[in-house]
């Protein structure tokens, strides 16, 4: 489960953006007993969150930052920042490229399946890894123990000549003696580096492997802006086909249309050639291929796979504009469905639907805004909980938002 995530210097985000999935520590959470997962480790972790904001405000960039971080773990190739993904204010020096600030930072805290709490920090620039560290603890108030830390020796980096001659100070003493020994025997070549934590996972370090597995398997980022390798596409197709054939999938799909009573799955083209069977009030049945059904049905059929993964596979899913063609009532039904089930999954989605701004279904900590600042055009991420003047008895949150009081709305150019 995701506990918190922070990042900086990524696309439209300049300063550190902070996001967490922690329920409040006060009595408010007692009004929403289904909205969070209570853990023995001292964390009350939210099941859902929604991110509201104007067009081109930065919602997709926020979600894509997680895609970028996740992609770091998909192979053992060297990692570095890309100038096309650096915040434009950090690339402002047109005359002297050596003054560019290309360092990006990603910081994520999760709870693994063993209930171990992991805290991972990665800093990269155009040359490669600057710093990487993974620590862990067993309870919220416990002391973090460092599993591995790596710090680049800046003295060996001749940036003005754009020469990569990098060495790292690496500490793996938190690992077992055997893993520490094997890691020390690995060749230490100069130049760019792959993630150190991935290497430890390959060597069999159990905590490193659990963290890497969570990033690779439990974290799912659904964004139309990122393409996956052919292998990943094939793998995803097989997993999606397995989900669609599960009898519990139909329960989720029926939220969009309760007349649906069956699915005849097409193994080759499940999202277009599968057939939905409907039953009328008088018991008559008729069938229709998904490709010939409504746009809303086709869209929700795909999203139902992700909802299944949240509830029945304990995935943490970030979805970009999940409800772009889904009506507000169905959106509310989806959130209620996730909250009403017992699981350890999480669903975070961006939306333009301001009707999500209500405190009957959400705690303030579950509502986030992304807004683009007028002065420097940088994106900013913040929670409704940052507005103490907004009380649960207030019924004008939607009006506050539409008037621009809460941010996240487009401004007119002066």
- Nearest-angstrom CA–CA distance, 202 and 216: 14
Instruction: Compute the radius of gyration of the chain from its Cα atoms.
Output: 23
Q: Which residues pair with 17 in a beta bridge?
A: 7
Q: Residue 122 in 3-state DSSP?
A: strand
Q: One digit per residue, pLDDT tens: the chain, 414 residues?
A: 999 999 999 999 999 999 999 999 888 999 999 999 999 999 999 999 999 988 888 999 999 999 999 999 988 888 889 989 999 888 775 556 666 888 999 999 999 999 999 999 999 998 889 999 999 999 999 999 999 999 988 655 555 555 566 788 889 989 988 888 888 777 654 545 789 999 999 999 999 999 999 999 999 998 654 443 433 444 567 888 999 999 999 999 999 999 999 999 999 998 889 999 999 999 999 999 999 998 888 888 988 999 999 999 999 999 988 777 677 788 888 999 999 999 999 999 998 877 788 888 899 999 999 998 878 889 999 999 998 888 887 667 877 887 777 876 655 544
Q: How many CB atoms lie within 10 A of CB 380?
A: 19
Q: How many CB atoms lie within 10 A of CB 41?
A: 17
Q: How many CB atoms lie within 10 A of CB 143?
A: 8
Q: What pLDDT, on a 0 to 100 scale, did the predictor assign at position 165? A: 67
The residue among 285, 274, 287 whose CA lies nearest residue 245 is: 274
Beta strands in 40-182 (DSSP E): 44-46, 48-53, 104-111, 117-125, 128-137, 145-152, 168-171
CB 264 within 8 A of CB 274: yes
CB 90 within 8 A of CB 101: yes
- Could you tell me which residues come within 8 angstroms of residue 197 by beta carbon, excluding any fewer than 6 positions away? 120, 132, 134, 148, 208, 211, 212
- Nearest-angstrom CA–CA distance, 347 and 220: 10
pTM of the model: 0.90
- Nearest-angstrom CA–CA distance, 140 and 73: 26
- Could you tell me which residues come within 8 angstroms of residue 133 by beta carbon, excluding any fewer than 6 positions away? 120, 121, 146, 148, 149, 150
Q: What pLDDT, on a 0 to 100 scale, did the predictor assign at position 126? A: 87
Side-chain half-sphere CA neighbours of 349 within 13 A: 21
Q: Which two tokens stand for residue 126?
A: 């155009």
The bridge status of strand 36-38 relative to strand 44-46 is antiparallel
Q: What pLDDT, on a 0 to 100 scale, did the predictor assign at position 193? A: 79
Alpha helices (H) along 254-294: none
């Amino acid at each position: 489960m995701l506990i918190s995530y922070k990042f900086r210097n990524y696309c439209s985000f300049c300063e550190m953006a902070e996001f967490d999935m922690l329920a409040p520590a006060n009595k408010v959470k007692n009004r929403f007993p289904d909205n969070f997962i209570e853990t023995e480790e001292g964390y009350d972790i939210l099941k859902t969150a929604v991110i509201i904001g104007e067009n081109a405000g930065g919602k997709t960039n926020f979600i894509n930052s997680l895609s970028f971080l996740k992609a770091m773990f998909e192979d053992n190739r060297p990692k570095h920042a890309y100038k096309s993904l650096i915040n434009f204010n950090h690339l402002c020096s047109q005359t002297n490229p050596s003054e560019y600030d290309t360092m990006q930072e990603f910081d994520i805290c999760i709870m693994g399946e063993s209930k171990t709490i992991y805290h991972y920090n990665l800093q990269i620039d155009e040359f490669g890894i600057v710093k990487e560290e993974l620590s862990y603890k067993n309870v919220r108030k416990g002391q973090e123990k460092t599993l591995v830390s790596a710090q680049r020796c800046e003295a060996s980096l001749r940036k003005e000549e754009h020469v990569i001659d990098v060495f790292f100070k690496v500490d793996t003493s938190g690992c077992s003696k055997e893993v520490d020994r094997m890691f020390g025997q690995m060749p230490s070549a100069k130049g760019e580096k792959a993630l150190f934590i991935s290497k430890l996972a390959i060597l069999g370090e159990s905590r490193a492997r659990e963290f890497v597995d969570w990033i690779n398997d439990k974290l799912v980022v659904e964004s139309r802006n990122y393409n996956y390798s052919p292998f990943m596409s094939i793998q995803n197709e097989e997993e999606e086909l397995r989900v669609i054939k599960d009898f519990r999938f139909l329960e989720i799909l029926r939220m969009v249309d309760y007349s649906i009573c069956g699915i005849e799955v097409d193994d080759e083209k499940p999202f277009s050639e599968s057939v939905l069977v409907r039953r009328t009030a008088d018991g008559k049945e008729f069938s229709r291929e998904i490709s010939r059904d409504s746009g809303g049905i086709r869209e929700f059929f795909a999203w139902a796979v992700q909802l299944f993964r949240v509830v029945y596979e304990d995935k943490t899913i970030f979805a970009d504009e999940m409800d772009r063609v889904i009506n507000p009532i169905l959106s509310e039904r989806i959130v209620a469905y996730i909250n009403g089930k017992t699981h350890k999954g999480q669903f975070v989605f961006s939306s333009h639907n301001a009707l999500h701004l209500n405190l009957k279904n959400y705690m303030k900590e579950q509502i986030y805004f992304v807004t683009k600042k007028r002065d420097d055009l940088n994106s900013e991420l913040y929670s409704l909980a940052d507005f103490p003047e907004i009380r649960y008895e207030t019924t004008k949150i939607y009006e506050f938002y539409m008037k621009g009081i809460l941010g996240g709305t487009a401004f007119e150019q002066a």
